[in-house]
Structure 1
Amino acid sequence: MRALPPKFNNWFATKGWSIHPHQQAMLDRADAPALLLIAPTGGGKTLSGFLPTLLDLAEGGHEGMHTLYISPLKALAADIKRNLTTPVKEMHLPITIDERTGDTPQSRRKRQRADPPNIFLTTPESLALLVSYPDAAHMFKNLKRVVIDEIHALAESKRGDQMMLALARLQTLCPALKRVGLSATVEDPAAIAHYMARHPDPCEVLLADPGPAPDISMLTTTEAPPWSGGGAAYAIPAVLDQIRQHKTTLIFHNTRAQAEIFFHNLWLANDDHLPIGIHHGSLDRTQRERVEAAMVRGDLRAIVCTGSLDLGIDWGDVDLVIQIGAPKNVKRLVQRIGRANHRYNAPSKALLVPANRFEVVECVAALEAVLEGALDGEPRGPGPRDVLCQHILIAAAAGPFDADALYREVTSAGAYAALSRPDFDACLDFAATGGYALRAYDRWQRLLQRPDGLWQLRDPRAAQRIRMNIGTIQDTDTLKVRMRRNRGGKPLGEIEEGFAASLTPGDTFLIGGQIVKYEGLREMTVEVSRDSAKKPKIATFMGTKFATSTQLSARVQQMFTAPSWPELPDHTAQWLHLQREVSELPQPGRLLIESFPHDGRAQTVIYGFAGRNGMQTLGLLLTKRMEELGLHPLGFVSTDYATLIWGLDPITDPAPLFDLGALQDGLDTWLAGNAVMKRTFRASATIAGLIERNTPSARKSGRQATFSSDILYDTLLRYDPDHLMLEITREEALRGLVDFGRIEEMITRIDGRIDHRVLPRVTPLAAPLFLEMGRVPVKGQAEERLLAEEAARLMEASGLAQITPPPSDKPHWRAKP
């Protein structure tokens, strides 16, 4: 056992602390090639990761960088720097600490590369940029350890894939490099361990005492939740009452727009004038930092927020977390719960507020999963090739490389361990020439192979352009919002370009919790003034629209098998009992389809539980199949659990609609010319380096980038349909926006077991679907038939139907002489 030096023991004693067992285990296993620590929030994970570093550096003598810390959030890196500086100063340790993010001034960046600190804190994007420089070997030459915080969050995104490729490069530069991963919420420790270790090296998993179970329940309200919607305005009085009873409350929302709406409604009802703030990624950085500082000081009683506060930042004395809307994902809920009572062995307190009636069921299912410790997560696919293409360009920017060596390096990253050499060579060819259809254009001729076999940049000046476009985050094009003044007023944040285009002078919208009036657009900035309106338009922030996980959906269906639901509120239990009386409830392993007339149309509801994107895609594909079968669909609407289709003809036999081969064919046809593919192509082509968003002269506008990517997409589709970027685009569309995998999983799960109920009227479970926003019309034969029928009715009503039309070979009008 490695003992703490007296200086450290004394420091722990002055804090009233003692070393936790998992912290001692991290010290004892510090020489392992890779370690994954899973410890509860407040369990001292960060100190666990840094203790071996602090002990190594305490005696001095280490030149340059010893430990690299990577976090998914810039704010988290800054927070860790503050927390680390305290013991270093109080113990007078000879340790230098610095951070680098997108906000770091250029002068400090140059100094860091020339004279790196002992502990260096950064993000995946900044790390990728650093390994692109020829002097990366100098900067990292003495690196001993890398600590990856909140690794579960990075493992679910392309940012994590880029980070692991950069680590593979560092491992080549520093073969003895030790890796440490830290997380509180990992559903499959073995999978994360495989992901973070250098393949095929092992990774040890250390599990800390999980601590007490969280104090988590559903918020009791006097008013029942509505049938549909996501605002949860009905719960405002109860939420305010909870804020009064606690020191600091975090109120989480799933989207930025919902957070703005809720904050506005909360403020209108805040008769006690409690100090309440709002925090999300579209707000101006100065405003976010002001809220963060107020949280640390304990000046705020509540903060309405989104995923911007999901991760391990220890802000102030938070003693309650409220989740508005169903969490959609158990792991995310656990992460958010952990923000309350951020102390070891102190139970976190959280309340769930369902936004509508169905979400009551989902919230109860999520509560049960949390108490059982059953986390969810979708299995990871292979490493995305658009990220690999960018990494090849990054490697070239750093200097000449050998393709064989780079292939070995790339396949040492867990997500790319199974990458075939032909697939690697295809990415290399794309990075070098743009691929078959584009190799004739100089702008995509970026790499050349030298006589000695090494690859290098064709033009060394291209390195600057490559570095300017490093990253995998594809944010929606936004415009700055400022208060209107003669010389530029106070910045408020950003709104989406599409939303800004819809505004006319005098329109009002919400941003930063206040209502503003649109005055005009000046030099690509939206100028606004304050407005006293009560009902504004809402800024359409993209944020993230989560889909309910496969595991949580399965739990909901399992709940439906129970004879009764004492754990549910009476209004929701009665709703489900009524559904069982008039129809039935969806069952695990089966597909419930209901057909009934309503509003003069044939209605069909499919309870597929495939997540929002999957059910939306299912609606598109089923209406296409119905068109082919002459069933005249008119439109559809989808939620996480069901799709409602309305049309002119009732469905008598739904089985042919769910032929997987036919759906696959329909998907291929639909995708080929669909905007989803062009949107996905634009994102992947930007990551892969085919499209440059940033140039030395200026950043392209969203419209310019879309125009150029659309032309490229159409060109490749016509002249090179097997082009690598089109393959990548299809993979990404199926995995993301379309989520066809969830449909395949659903069809495999039901295996032809379809329960079709033909009913006389709308059922209780279907009723909320008729109140959903976002209905999608279907343009097809049904529209033509409706027009013909309407024309016939008008003719009949006006008596024109009795008039015999003139013979077709004779003119029935005559020009005036």
Structure 2
Amino acid sequence: MSRAGDFCRAAHSKDVNKRTTQTASRVVPPEIEAWFTGRDWRVRRHQTEMLEASDAGRHSLLVADTGAGKTLGGFLPTLAAFCPSRLNGEDPPEGLHTLYVSPLKALAHDVQRNLVTPVEDMGLPLRIETRSGDTPSDRKKRQRTKPPHILMTTPESLSLLLSYPDSFAMFAGLKRVIVDEVHAFATGKRGDLLALALSRLQAIAPDLQRAALSATLADPENYRTWLAPWGDIEEVALIKGEDGAPAEVEILLPIEERVPWGGHAATWSIPQLYDLIKQNRTTLVFTNTRFLSEYIFQYLWDANEDKLPIGIHHGSLSKEARRKVEGAMARGELRALVATASLDLGVDWGDIDCVVQMGAPKGSSRLLQRIGRANHRLDQPSRAVLVPGNRFEFLEATAAKEAVDAGQRDGEDFRPGGLDVLAQHVMGCACAAPFEEAALLAEIRSSHAYAWVDTAIFTRVLEFVATGGYALKAYDRFRRIVREGGAKKAAAGGDATWRLAHPQQAAKHRLNAGIIMDGEMLQVRFRNGRSLGKVEERFAAQLSPGDTFGFAGMSLEVEKVQDMDVVVRASSKAAMIPSYGGARMPLTTHLADRVREMLIDRAKWGRFPDDVREWLEVQDWRSKMPAPGTLLVESFPHGKRYFTVYYTFIGWNANQSLGMLVTKRMEDRGLKPLGFNANDYCLAVWSLRPVEDPVPLLSPDILTDEFIDWVQDSHLLRRAFREVAVIGGLVERQQPGKRKTGKQVTFSTDLIYEVLRKYEPDHVLLEAAWADARTLMTDIGRLGDMLDVAAEQLVHVELDRVSPLAVPVMVLIGRENVPQGAADDELLLEAESLADAAMRTDPLEELEPD
């Protein structure tokens, strides 16, 4: 059903609560009350409280389950403002009244389409339009001079609107901003951009009310602080929705086989999944990566004997392909749709009655968001099926299910706003009109994300926007804004006024502004130019000269990473770094803690399948369990190598970074590391010499010594610098009628990067690049927390053979150049061999080498 159904079903209840109805009748305009009553629906308590908060002049944060009518709750004050009973015979307000901001263009279009229904039914004099990159230019121009009453847009489009001189007139009468699905972007750079835009809007329209909506907030208080001007949490009313029917979540298990030891694709489930699809009207199948969506879709298509209409939807598909699938879903023509996070949010297509999560969900909030796509009504439960790919994923799926049942959420932490985003915003403000330095700083600091910016930092940002910085100020092309009065006025003191250096800078800014960066693929090639294929830049960015990795069935040694190429040579050395395909979602800290609690709660192991319970029991007998607050490290010989497994539970990204750092430290200590492998739960490193004491390998100074050297020697900092240089406006992606290639952009940013590292190492963009490298690319925060635990509570167990808990990470060693989920015979044989070694309780002879 459509989102109009969201509005309506959320209000439906035959058991109307008389007290709630009486309260609503005193607050809700009679036109809206009659619209609901005439359909045997009621306005829910949280929707009424949103209207009450607005009437009291307060900002508001609504946290309510999917299907609870959050969107209508956000718009209810707007609808009420246009009701005749509240207009008292006066004309409806002119100009832009409400701005709706969503993380997805498709979500804005979906809301617009379905908001029209109640507006038309009630005869309200409201014009509703959307604005995005797809909006025709003539309509965009008209919207700035004659805007609709409600405009639906994205953070990027809003930022561009604020860069026009007529933005002051356009937003002067703005009464309300609604931020939908606020959890999806508030903690990232898109949230930084929106936070700055909200500060500017508040300065233009001081009486503006802010409202944010979400179904999955772990810590609403942090979001109240983010939403409030000057971070004043008391200005934001926290409104919690009525409880809906609890979700029905089940975990799918093999009928005759055991839960797999390794793998992520869960292809063992295809026959059962196909039967599930046949039993339901529409099934939405979520995967965690684009690769897996294609992989699972192909398996389902091969099993599709009944020729059922099954589609696929992910971000790499063309807009035309996505729109075609979306239309088919809206018309109820598909029986199943395989999708990625592209359908995580509140866009609702089709009558979905079952959601399937292939592999572990990686977080309870993410799982809840996906479950909410099924049976989109508050009074009936949504149904979801979790399909674990391996034994650790079974534990993770169980932890996620129990978290959802207990109503516990998780999410990403807030961090200081990015300086590159701030530079882009400053330039946008200059495009709109000259600005006074002190006034703009005060406006910026009213956003909690940038409350940390002091005069010294802001002066550095202004200098960068004005000249490119000390090392680049001699080049005219980096001059974008100038200080009126120049040096004389600066010497005289007083507030400085800044304006554009040239009017054409405004067009350049609007052409290149934005936060979303396209992912790049790098060519892997020999020095003679022969190409072997492509790898994701995230993987390539970690490589330094001399590193070896497996690719195309060979061990390759890195000679250099230059422009968009990874130049390699064939190596006789074993590949130390496994090559991974596809971006990976991180395991949340909350879910990781739940899994660890589950591992030590022996009394509850009886609820697990027999093979999983036996797996844990043998681990407990032979070694130890990785208890919360400790770091378990196991060492054992296998195949004439020495293995060390660190049970960190900090996610794949952080474990991958730890592998890079630990192996470098092992090399310095003569332990002769041969390679490493990581998953969300642990890191396995193998070497020619045993690790007798892991404590020195994990000392916290690894983040100030090896980490800095690694980042500077690898492509990691260059990649981070390219992104902040583009966001900060130092390098243009787009020119009139032409878009630069990734190679051209990389060439430009690499040249500037070398200049700044040599002549201005404290440049504001290098600082921003370091911040990105430390957080977004390596999960350095979680890694640092784990190292602190290791320094105090490390438990080292030396074994004579592989442990049961190590088998899942050991299975894939040397197989990472095989597509994820490819359960070939060799991989299965390796798993059985390792499992036999780990699970036997009698003396075991040394296994033959690999």
- Alignment correspondent of 2:668: 628
| Structure 2 CA distance for partners of 1:70 and 1:663, relative to 1, 3 Å | closer
Letter of the 1:545 partner, please give it: R
Matched, 1:98 2:132: no
Matched, 1:763 2:794: no
- Alignment correspondent of 2:248: 215
- Alignment correspondent of 1:30: 54
Retained in 1: the 8 A contact 2:293–2:338? yes
SS in structure 2 at match of 1:199: helix
> 2 CA distance for matches of 1:645 and 1:278?
37
Letter of the 2:786 partner, please give it: M
Retained in 2: the 8 A contact 1:251–1:324? yes
Letter of the 1:391 partner, please give it: H
Matched, 1:10 2:44: no
Give the alignment partner of residue 508 of structure 2, picking from 450, 465, 482. Answer: 465
> 1 CA distance for matches of 2:816 and 2:129?
51
Retained in 1: the 8 A contact 2:130–2:152? yes
**CA drift at 1:373:** 1.3
| Structure 2 CA distance for partners of 1:775 and 1:276, relative to 1, 3 Å | closer
> 1 CA distance for matches of 2:512 and 2:182?
24
Letter of the 1:474 partner, please give it: M
- Alignment correspondent of 1:556: 595
TM-score, length basis structure 2: 0.82
Matched, 1:162 2:202: no
Report the more deviating stretch, 421-430 or 181-190: 421-430
Which runs of 5 or more residues in structure 1 are unaligned? 480-494, 502-539, 778-817
- Alignment correspondent of 1:206: 239
Report the more deviating stretch, 201-210 or 183-192: 201-210
Letter of the 1:158 partner, please give it: K
Matched, 1:42 2:67: yes
SS in structure 2 at match of 1:596: strand
- Alignment correspondent of 1:79: 110
**CA drift at 1:130:** 0.2
Matched, 1:255 2:289: yes
Retained in 2: the 8 A contact 1:257–1:541? no
**CA drift at 1:190:** 0.6
Retained in 2: the 8 A contact 1:247–1:318? yes
| Structure 2 CA distance for partners of 1:6 and 1:765, relative to 1, 3 Å | same
Aligned CA-pair RMSD: 2.1
| Structure 2 CA distance for partners of 1:175 and 1:496, relative to 1, 3 Å | farther
TM-score, length basis structure 1: 0.86
- Alignment correspondent of 1:688: 728
Equivalent residues in 2 for 1:410-421 (5 A)? 410-421=444-455
| Structure 2 CA distance for partners of 1:663 and 1:178, relative to 1, 3 Å | closer
**CA drift at 1:664:** 2.3
> 2 CA distance for matches of 1:334 and 1:266?
25
> 2 CA distance for matches of 1:5 and 1:753?
61
> 1 CA distance for matches of 2:198 and 2:100?
12
- Alignment correspondent of 1:275: 309
> 2 CA distance for matches of 1:299 and 1:582?
54
Equivalent residues in 2 for 1:287-686 (5 A)? 287-451=321-485, 453-477=496-520, 544-564=583-603, 565-686=605-726
- Alignment correspondent of 2:560: none
> 2 CA distance for matches of 1:296 and 1:90?
22
Which runs of 5 or more residues in structure 2 are unaligned? 1-24, 85-90, 486-494, 523-533, 541-578, 818-850
Matched, 1:704 2:744: yes
**CA drift at 1:411:** 0.8
| Structure 2 CA distance for partners of 1:314 and 1:15, relative to 1, 3 Å | farther
Letter of the 2:305 partner, please give it: D
**CA drift at 1:663:** 4.1
Letter of the 1:35 partner, please give it: S
Give the alignment partner of residue 81 of structure 2, picking from 49, 53, 56. Answer: 56
Retained in 2: the 8 A contact 1:220–1:238? no
Retained in 2: the 8 A contact 1:635–1:776? no
Give the alignment partner of residue 197 of structure 1, picking from 218, 224, 228. Answer: 228
- Measured against aligned partners, the alpha-carbon deviations of 1:479-537 in whole angstroms (never above 9, x if no partner) come to 9xxxxxxxxxxxxxxx99989x9xxxxxxxxxxxxxxxxxxxxxxxxxxxxxxxxxxxx
SS in structure 2 at match of 1:475: coil
Give the alignment partner of residue 129 of structure 1, picking from 143, 152, 160. Answer: 160
Retained in 2: the 8 A contact 1:58–1:95? no
SS in structure 1 at match of 2:646: strand
| Structure 2 CA distance for partners of 1:323 and 1:183, relative to 1, 3 Å | same
Retained in 2: the 8 A contact 1:476–1:542? no
SS in structure 2 at match of 1:765: helix
| Structure 2 CA distance for partners of 1:355 and 1:207, relative to 1, 3 Å | same
Matched, 1:186 2:217: yes
Give the alignment partner of residue 145 of structure 1, picking from 176, 184, 193. Answer: 176
Retained in 2: the 8 A contact 1:557–1:587? yes
- Measured against aligned partners, the alpha-carbon deviations of 1:267-290 in whole angstroms (never above 9, x if no partner) come to 100112221111111111122112
Retained in 1: the 8 A contact 2:359–2:387? yes
> 2 CA distance for matches of 1:296 and 1:408?
46
> 1 CA distance for matches of 2:339 and 2:168?
41
Retained in 2: the 8 A contact 1:637–1:775? no
> 2 CA distance for matches of 1:724 and 1:498?
24
- Alignment correspondent of 2:274: 240
SS in structure 1 at match of 2:795: strand
**CA drift at 1:544:** 4.4
**CA drift at 1:333:** 0.7
- Alignment correspondent of 2:43: 19
**CA drift at 1:707:** 1.6
- Kindly report structure 1 stretches of 4+ aligned residues shifted beyond 6 Å: 495-499, 540-543, 773-777
> 2 CA distance for matches of 1:380 and 1:136?
29
- Measured against aligned partners, the alpha-carbon deviations of 1:300-319 in whole angstroms (never above 9, x if no partner) come to 11111111111112222111
Letter of the 1:213 partner, please give it: P
> 1 CA distance for matches of 2:813 and 2:104?
33
> 1 CA distance for matches of 2:284 and 2:769?
38
Letter of the 1:265 partner, please give it: Y
| Structure 2 CA distance for partners of 1:496 and 1:662, relative to 1, 3 Å | closer
> 1 CA distance for matches of 2:739 and 2:248?
48
Letter of the 2:51 partner, please give it: L
Give the alignment partner of residue 729 of structure 1, picking from 769, 774, 779. Answer: 769
- Measured against aligned partners, the alpha-carbon deviations of 1:740-761 in whole angstroms (never above 9, x if no partner) come to 2111111223442222122122
SS in structure 2 at match of 1:557: helix
SS in structure 1 at match of 2:676: strand
SS in structure 2 at match of 1:113: helix
- Measured against aligned partners, the alpha-carbon deviations of 1:142-178 in whole angstroms (never above 9, x if no partner) come to 2111111111112122111101101111111101000
Letter of the 1:463 partner, please give it: A
> 2 CA distance for matches of 1:619 and 1:648?
16
**CA drift at 1:206:** 0.4
**CA drift at 1:365:** 1.0
SS in structure 1 at match of 2:499: strand
- Alignment correspondent of 1:508: none
**CA drift at 1:296:** 1.6
Report the more deviating stretch, 192-201 or 540-549: 540-549
Letter of the 1:25 partner, please give it: E
